[in-house]
């Protein structure tokens, strides 16, 4: 039997989660235009933050910029890069209590060598049960 979205063995049926929205700046334009590096980095940081990565897809744009999307058992993550200004938008939503989306964002900022990190955390679903 497969699990429904937003369920893990620790939190079956829990309709709650954390949505981390971040802006990273002061990042190398070369890294922000490196599709393979970004795919690998996003997958790695999500795994380190206890998320279950199902698939990572990406699209490189011309003349520059990359979007990477990760499908997670716990929900999703995305990055949208702007090499021309050394910045990236990051969005990580995980439901349940096992995965740590804020940690994933911090690890990604570290991997990219971001000079500045701005985050907003939105508690979603049933507030009293969210991590």
Domain ranges of the chain: 16-124
Please give the positions annotated as active site: 75, 80, 95
> The tokens of 88 are what?
């990236």
Is the pLDDT confidence value at 25 over 90?
yes
If 0-12 CB within 10 Å is exposed, 13-18 middle and 19+ buried, where does residue 122 land? exposed
pTM, two decimals, is: 0.88
Mean pLDDT of 42-48: 98
Topology of domain 16-124, per CATH?
3.60.90
Report the chain's mean pLDDT, rounded to a whole number.
Answer: 90
Beta-sheet strand order (sheet of 53-60): 53-60, 66-72, 75-82, 87-95, 16-25, 116-125
pLDDT at 10: 56
Band of residue 41 on the pLDDT scale cut at 50, 70, 90: very high
Is the pLDDT confidence value at 117 over 80?
yes
């Amino acid at each position: 039997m497969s699990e429904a979205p937003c369920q893990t063995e620790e939190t079956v049926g829990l309709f709650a989660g954390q949505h981390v929205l971040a802006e990273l700046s002061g990042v190398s334009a070369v890294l922000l235009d490196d599709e393979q590096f970004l795919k690998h980095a996003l997958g790695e940081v999500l795994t380190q933050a206890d998320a279950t990565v199902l698939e990572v897809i990406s699209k490189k744009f011309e003349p520059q910029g990359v979007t990477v999307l990760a499908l997670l058992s716990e929900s999703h993550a995305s990055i949208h890069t702007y090499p021309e200004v050394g910045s990236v938008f990051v969005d990580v939503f995980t439901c349940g209590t096992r995965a740590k989306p804020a940690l994933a964002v911090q690890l990604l900022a570290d991997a990219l060598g971001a000079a500045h990190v701005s985050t907003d955390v939105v508690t979603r679903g049933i507030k009293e049960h969210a991590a």
